[in-house]
Structure formats: structure tokens, C-alpha cells
């Protein structure tokens, strides 16, 4: 049975992972190193695991939104900015037809307005925009991920461990048609796409 110090370490670990993973999309390698540094020794040496989505297998089917035991899914869309093209016409933000190039709700692909579009610059006559995720609004439906896959694929889904209750049997995993959800070590619970790992110099990992 875990003692009170172990329980404290686990609570601190979850909080630090959430903070570091939020920065990961922006900070890249530095944020990944920070996440590692904030992992308590009790978890580094344990055999504990957490549920996570393999973004290379995920098909953004929509089951993450509807099958999580929580009222609001623990799955959230993430943005890996080093892969993003900052496109004016972003297929993760706009539907593929019937829209105008503005941020009106009627033009947005996301049903909850969780993808935020911000103009960055005009360069050589081309407009560039940054797309971020407002996680409290995100329901894990995967529409932005499915759309972004048509272009750079910088948007992907992850199980957020500040929300996940780490069920013995994950209801989303049982419903996943691509078998993209699996248990990973608790000291490294956030999976990246192979392309993102290559960019960060992390190399390949077992599928």
C-alpha cells in the first residue's frame, strides 16, 4: 500500500505532466526535458502505466468523445507547432468546402470552437495563422485531427492525465477500431507521432 509521500509524489507528478505537456507543443525539446526532470523518483522506478493514444495509429474516429467514462472526455486535441504549416486555409480549422476565410462560428470545423485561429504575419503576399487548442472547450471528437491529416498532421489526440482516472479497463480502448490506445510507462505517458519524435531527435519507438 502506498504511503502518504508516494501519494503526494503522484499528485505532484500529474500536475507537472499537465503543465509540461501543455508547453510541449510550443517549447519542443526543452519542454520534453522539463517533463522528464519533474518525474518523481517513485514513478521512475515503478512499473506503473497510464493509458495513451498512439497518434500514428489513431484514425480520429470520434469514439474518444463518446466512450470515455467521464462526462467530458479525458482526450484532448494537441498541436505540435514544429509540424504546423500556419496555413491560411487550414483543413483542421475549416471544412473542406462551404466556408469563408474568417473565424466566424459558421465557418469552423470544430463543433465547440476549441481551435483558436490567430493571425501571425503576412509574408510575400501570403497570410500565416497560428492554431491553438482551448482545452476546456475540446471534447476529443477528433474532427480537427482528421482534417489536419490532409495536410501537415500537426494536430493529434492525447489522453490528458490530469483528467484521466486510469481505469483498469479503458472504455475508449475497448471501442477503438484502430487499436491505437495502449498502456505506456507512467514516467513517459505522452506519445508523439514518429515525425514529431524525429524533429525532437528522440528517434523511433516501438509501435
Separation between Cα atoms, residue 131 and residue 156, nearest integer Å: 13
Write out pLDDT tens, residues 109-129.
999 999 999 999 999 999 999
- Global pTM value: 0.75
Identify whether the C-beta of residue 77 lies closer than 8 Å to the C-beta of residue 149. Answer: no
Separation between Cα atoms, residue 55 and residue 52, nearest integer Å: 9
Q: Can you give the pLDDT at residue 136?
A: 96
Identify whether the C-beta of residue 140 lies closer than 8 Å to the C-beta of residue 174. Answer: no
Query: Which of these, 80, 93, 89, lies nearest to 156 by C-alpha position?
Result: 80
Q: Can you give the pLDDT at residue 31?
A: 47
Q: What are phi and psi of 96, to 5 degrees?
A: -80, -5
Per-residue pLDDT of the chain in tens (207 residues, 90 and over written 9): 444 444 445 444 444 444 444 444 444 445 445 444 444 554 445 689 999 999 999 999 999 999 999 999 999 999 999 999 999 999 999 999 999 999 999 999 999 999 999 999 999 999 999 999 999 999 999 999 999 999 999 999 999 999 999 999 999 999 999 999 999 999 989 999 999 999 999 654 443
Amino acid at each position: 500500500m502506498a504511503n502518504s509521500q508516494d501519494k503526494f509524489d503522484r499528485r505532484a507528478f500529474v500536475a507537472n505532466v499537465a503543465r509540461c505537456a501543455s508547453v510541449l507543443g510550443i517549447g519542443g525539446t526543452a519542454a520534453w526535458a522539463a517533463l522528464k526532470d519533474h518525474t518523481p523518483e517513485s514513478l521512475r522506478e515503478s512499473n506503473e502505466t497510464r493509458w495513451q493514444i498512439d497518434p500514428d495509429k489513431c484514425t480520429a474516429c470520434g469514439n474518444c468523445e463518446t466512450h470515455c467514462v467521464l462526462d467530458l472526455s479525458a482526450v484532448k486535441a494537441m498541436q505540435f507547432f514544429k509540424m504546423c504549416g500556419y496555413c491560411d486555409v487550414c483543413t483542421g480549422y475549416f471544412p473542406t468546402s462551404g466556408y469563408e476565410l474568417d473565424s466566424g462560428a459558421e465557418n469552423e470545423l470544430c463543433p465547440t470552437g476549441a481551435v483558436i485561429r490567430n493571425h501571425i504575419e503576412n509574408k510575400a503576399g501570403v497570410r500565416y495563422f497560428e492554431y491553438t487548442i482551448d482545452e476546456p472547450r475540446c471534447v476529443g471528437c477528433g474532427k480537427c485531427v482528421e482534417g489536419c491529416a490532409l495536410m501537415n498532421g500537426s494536430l493529434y489526440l492525447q489522453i490528458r492525465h490530469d483528467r484521466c482516472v486510469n481505469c483498469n479497463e479503458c472504455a475508449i480502448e475497448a471501442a477503438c477500431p484502430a487499436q491505437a490506445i495502449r498502456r505506456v510507462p507512467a514516467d513517459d505517458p505522452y506519445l508523439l507521432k514518429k515525425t514529431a519524435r524525429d524533429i525532437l531527435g528522440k528517434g523511433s519507438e516501438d509501435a
